Amino acid sequence: MLIWTTLGTLEVIEALRDWTVVPVPSDRWNHNTLYHPVVLGSIPDVCNRALDVGCGVGMLTRELRQVVPEVVGIDTDESSIAAARADLGASDVDYVQGNVLSYPFELGSFDLVAAVASLHHMDAEIALSRLSALLRSGGVLAVVGLARSSLGDLPIDVAAVLPDRIHRRCAPYWQHPSPIVWPPPESYTSMRGVATRVLRDARFRRRLSWRYTLVWTKPATAATVSRSSAPASGGRRAVRVGGGCTARARWAGPEAAGFRSPAWEQR
Ligand SMILES: C[S@@+](CC[C@H](N)C(=O)[O-])C[C@H]1O[C@@H](n2cnc3c(N)ncnc32)[C@H](O)[C@@H]1O
């Protein structure tokens, strides 16, 4: 009992740290966009190809494209994909209409897989296994998710109301037009359990504004240097610069680049 109370208190304190999270000035913000920086901050050092799962009208997809050379957005919903494709910033993004659980993506072909407000549309265990299989070794899965509150979540839910009111006064809340599922099938507690079971070492965090985040780095196998991170001599490698931009550098082979081991193996 004491352990549960202590853990619950710690979770509340951690969620309260989100009081400092404020919407990026934009004409569109909601409880999903509020946590886009968690996804953008999880982009691995070497990132050539990213997947946005349940991309909706492509808000995050376009943000990812600012820093990742190749970005794919997938959604089952035809009108969301049509709206995403119609957006001015979409020219360079590959949008596909399909089910991420069955779409014939090559396994291990993404450096980053992101899912914002879409995981609860699927069976959580099956979806997490599938998304992890799409990642290359050392790739990162970043989820912003919805879950059901239980009694123990009440303090966090109540604490979220005031910042939410303030945010709404600063800018109107944007209701995205894509399909929603409510209530989410998993509670925060059961979702944390699924994440821990399926993905060892996943960082699961209850967030203040009715969301959780989950960030997981796929373990690197000892000798793995993925196709996307270390192409054959003469290929290209993406390099993160400063605040998270990627620049493309000529890849002249491991020795020429002073390459010892991939960054993720050193974590
Ligand atoms: C609540 S919307 C979120 C959209 C967008 N990520 C956002 O934050 O605005 C969830 C989206 O996931 C999509 N979706 C649900 N299940 C999916 C699946 N199995 N494969 C691909 N997309 C899926 C839905 O069609 C919907 O557009």
Residue nearest to atom 12 of ligand 1 (CA): 54
Question: Alpha carbon of 134 to those of 39, 49, 107: distances in Å?
Answer: 17, 11, 4
- pLDDT value at position 170? 86
Cα–ligand 1 centroid distance for 117 (angstroms) = 7
Cα–ligand 1 centroid distance for 111 (angstroms) = 20
- pLDDT value at position 88? 80
Question: Alpha carbon of 61 to those of 20, 94, 96, 126, 183: distances in Å?
Answer: 25, 9, 12, 23, 25
Residue nearest to atom 16 of ligand 1 (CA): 121
Domains of the chain from N-terminus onward: 2-251 (3.40.50.150)
In the predicted model, what is the mean pLDDT of residues 204-217? 96
Highest mean pLDDT among 57-66, 159-168, 238-247: 57-66
Q: Is the CB of 96 under 6 A from ligand 1?
A: no
Return the minimum-mean-pLDDT range out of 2-16, 29-43, 100-114.
2-16
Say if residue 20's pLDDT is above 70: no
Say if residue 9's pLDDT is above 90: no
CA atoms within 13 A on the CB side of 150: 10
- Encode pLDDT of 138-148 as tens digits: 999 999 999 99
Cα–ligand 1 centroid distance for 77 (angstroms) = 7
More confident residue, 170 or 180: 180
Return the minimum-mean-pLDDT range out of 68-82, 118-132, 161-175.
161-175
- pLDDT value at position 10? 65
Say if residue 204's pLDDT is above 50: yes
Say if residue 15's pLDDT is above 70: yes
- pLDDT value at position 266? 29
In the predicted model, what is the mean pLDDT of residues 213-229? 69
Q: Which atom of ligand 1 is nearest to the CA of 115?
A: 6
- Of 178, 181, 210, best ligand 1 pocket probe by most atoms within 8 Å of the beta carbon: 178
Q: Is the CB of 80 under 6 A from ligand 1?
A: yes
